[in-house]
């Protein structure tokens, strides 16, 4: 135990700190109890730190205007319980090694000990935890930087309008909305989503088939949990959505890469190369990340193959409402009359990621399994948030919002494309896209994807290297750049920074 001496630099607790303790002389709680409680609180919340000297009982009694006996009794009690220790001739001190709410800063020796500790050898990690650790889904950093793919225009989100709905729900909703709510989501939101999807995506479903989730990712996890056995085969687009792939892999499925050609997922390659799948994962309306739209012929072939082989198709329809030419192509689910498609949608793109709401359309006989799976894996989405979004959709606000965002994103896409062509022309080639919130830019020879990504990140520009989405090595190096989340006026100076960065990377490579 650390014992302070006369020359110790540790300051004693100032009378001011302890005299801030408020004692109520009219209370039924005794002065002893009040002081005892207040002292414990000061020690536990870190206001009084370990080994700090407490004022003498005489001084504290004077400061607080209580009898010295009361203070002495409190100190004795705190000593008996280990909050305080005393040193004859030196006084009383706050004890060490208490689990404080605000822990004191560790000293250098402790820090060194932890930094030298490489792993926790006592714990044998499960197979899943090894797969989780290897996942690249967490490559992206939490704080949003410019050009991060998949981020909506949060700078122009209609907060006032949203707050109106939020306030209305919080004020007028039934008490039940502050509870856990029904597993699988509230009927009101299911009805609103079903009506919206019928209209916007030609989706063919009853509201009862919808399970509300906390986003598309929870939908993938629910599918993996409820429908996948260990070693089941999953055909997965390559390159493809990282987090979905890693969720299935973590659950023990075998991921088989399927290349993308100009018509979408290359079904012939998959049939020729891989065993029959339990599940086929696809983003037919806007291939993630390459941007291809699956042709009608390929859609029909895929549905027919899935039906004949009793495979599920997961249709991840994450951002296809943002279509900049013509009407969005109907969802793959709209063509499915055999019940093979599990349709997954999210509000992360159409509203904002923090809403944490998504949904999955499943056949009637699977609704109970999926809802129960959601209970086992933790709770579903916030009922209050579900109430807000229900009203937002019912009042036509959601459709309006998508219409407005479509115009905004189209402009942002145009500005980014023009600037990339103008400022980075011989270093990077942007690929035109008519759907979604991101574009691909191919890198010229001499630029390494990962190095470029890291160098840009230092400049607060967040691209994703194409290789991170890929299972098999890709022949072309490219970056995925989001355009939806960056204001048009910010784009030219950011692209200028990019251009300078690419130039210096190329120069360093040639010298
Ligand atoms: C292809 C794809 N699907 C789905 C999602 C949405 O995930 P969530 O709804 O869990 O936010 C994303 C998010 O980045 C995505 O890129």
User: Higher-confidence residue: 61 or 333?
Assistant: 333
Q: Is 353 in the pocket of ligand 1 (CB under 6 A)?
A: yes
Using 50, 70 and 90 to split pLDDT, how confident is the model at 88? Answer: confident
Per-residue CA distances from 100 to 42, 44, 50, 246 (Å): 10, 5, 10, 38
Q: Facing residues of 282 across strands?
A: 315
Per-residue CA distances from 29 to 36, 37, 70 (Å): 11, 11, 13
- Residues with Cβ within 8 Å of 306's Cβ and at least 6 positions away in sequence, in order, are 280, 312, 313, 338, 340, 341
User: 17, exposed or middle or buried, with CB in 10 Å at 0-12, 13-18, 19+?
Assistant: middle
User: 324, exposed or middle or buried, with CB in 10 Å at 0-12, 13-18, 19+?
Assistant: middle
Residue 217 is predicted with a pLDDT of 96
Residue 318 CA to ligand 1 centre (angstroms): 6
Residue 113 is predicted with a pLDDT of 54
Residue 217 CA to ligand 1 centre (angstroms): 6
Residue 244 CA to ligand 1 centre (angstroms): 8
* pLDDT of 114 strictly over 80: no
Q: What is the mean pLDDT of residues 300-323?
A: 97
Measured over the CA atoms of residue 10, residue 12, residue 16 and residue 18, the dihedral's sign is: positive
Ligand 1 atom at shortest distance from the alpha carbon of 289: 1
* pLDDT of 39 strictly over 90: no
- Cα–Cα distance measured from residue 250 to residue 253, given in angstroms and rounded to the nearest whole number: 7
Residue 267 tokens read as 């079904």
* pLDDT of 12 strictly over 80: no
Question: CB count, 10 Å around CB of 120?
Answer: 8
- Residues with Cβ within 8 Å of 124's Cβ and at least 6 positions away in sequence, in order, are none
Residue 417 is predicted with a pLDDT of 98
- Cα–Cα distance measured from residue 189 to residue 185, given in angstroms and rounded to the nearest whole number: 7
Per-residue CA distances from 292 to 137, 260, 394, 467, 487 (Å): 22, 8, 32, 17, 26
For all residues of the chain together, what is the average pLDDT? Answer: 90
Q: Is 492 in the pocket of ligand 1 (CB under 6 A)?
A: no
Residue 106 CA to ligand 1 centre (angstroms): 39
Residue 353 CA to ligand 1 centre (angstroms): 9
* pLDDT of 383 strictly over 90: yes
* pLDDT of 165 strictly over 70: yes
Q: Is 348 in the pocket of ligand 1 (CB under 6 A)?
A: yes
75-84, 121-130, 400-409, 424-433: least confidently modelled range: 121-130
Question: Do residues 453 and 464 make contact, with C-beta atoms less than 8 angstroms apart?
Answer: yes
Q: What is the mean pLDDT of residues 198-214?
A: 96
Residue 103 is predicted with a pLDDT of 47
Of all protein residues, the one whose alpha carbon is nearest to atom 1 of ligand 1 is: 241
Q: What is the mean pLDDT of residues 120-132?
A: 79
* pLDDT of 100 strictly over 80: no
Q: Is 356 in the pocket of ligand 1 (CB under 6 A)?
A: no
CA 177 to chain centre: 24
């Amino acid at each position: 135990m650390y014992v302070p001496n006369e020359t110790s630099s540790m300051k004693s607790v100032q009378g001011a700190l302890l005299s801030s303790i408020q004692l109520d002389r009219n209370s039924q709680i005794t002065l002893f109890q009040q002081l005892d409680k207040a002292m414990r609180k000061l020690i536990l919340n870190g206001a009084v730190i370990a080994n700090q000297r407490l004022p003498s009982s005489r001084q504290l009694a004077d400061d607080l205007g209580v009898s010295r006996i009361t203070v002495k009794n409190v100190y004795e009690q705190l000593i008996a319980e280990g909050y305080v220790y005393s040193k004859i001739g030196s006084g009383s001190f706050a004890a060490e090694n208490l689990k404080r709410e605000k822990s004191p800063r560790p000293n250098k020796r402790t820090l060194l000990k932890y930094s030298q500790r490489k792993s926790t050898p006592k714990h044998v990690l499960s197979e899943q935890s090894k797969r989780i650790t290897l996942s690249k889904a967490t490559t992206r950093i939490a704080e949003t930087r410019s050009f991060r793919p998949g981020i909506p225009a949060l700078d122009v989100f209609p907060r006032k309008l949203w707050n109106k709905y939020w306030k209305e729900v919080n004020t007028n909703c039934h008490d039940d909305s502050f509870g856990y709510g029904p597993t699988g989501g509230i009927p009101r939101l299911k009805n609103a989503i079903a009506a919206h999807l019928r209209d916007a995506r030609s989706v063919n479903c009853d509201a009862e088939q919808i399970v509300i989730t906390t986003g598309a990712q929870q939908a993938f996890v629910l599918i993996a949990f409820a429908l996948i056995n260990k070693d089941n085969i999953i055909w997965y687009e390559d390159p493809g959505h990282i987090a979905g792939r890693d969720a299935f892999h973590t659950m023990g499925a075998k991921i088989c890469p399927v290349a993308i050609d100009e018509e979408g997922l290359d079904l012939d390659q998959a049939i020729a190369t891989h065993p029959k799948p339990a599940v086929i994962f696809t983003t037919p309306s806007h291939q993630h990340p390459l941007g291809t739209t699956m042709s009608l012929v390929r859609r029909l072939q895929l549905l027919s193959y899935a039906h004949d082989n009793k495979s599920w198709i997961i249709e991840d329809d994450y951002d296809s409402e943002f279509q900049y030419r013509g009407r969005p192509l109907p969802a793959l689910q709209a063509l499915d009359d055999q019940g093979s498609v599990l349709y997954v949608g999210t509000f992360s793109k159409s509203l904002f990621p923090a809403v944490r709401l998504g949904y999955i359309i499943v056949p009637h006989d699977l609704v109970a399994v999926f809802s129960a799976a959601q209970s086992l894996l933790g709770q579903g989405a916030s009922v209050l948030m579900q109430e807000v979004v229900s009203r937002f959709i019912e009042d036509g606000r959601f459709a309006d919002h998508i219409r407005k965002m479509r115009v905004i994103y189209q402009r942002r896409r145009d500005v980014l494309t023009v600037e990339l062509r103008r400022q980075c022309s011989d270093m990077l080639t942007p690929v035109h896209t008519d759907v979604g919130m991101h574009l691909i830019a191919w890198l010229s020879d001499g630029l390494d994807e990962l190095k470029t990504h890291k160098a840009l990140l230092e400049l607060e520009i967040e691209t994703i290297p194409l290789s991170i989405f890929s299972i098999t090595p890709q022949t072309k190096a490219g970056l995925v750049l989001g355009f939806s989340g960056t204001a048009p006026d910010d784009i030219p100076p950011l692209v200028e920074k990019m251009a300078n960065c690419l130039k210096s990377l190329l120069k360093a490579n040639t010298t």
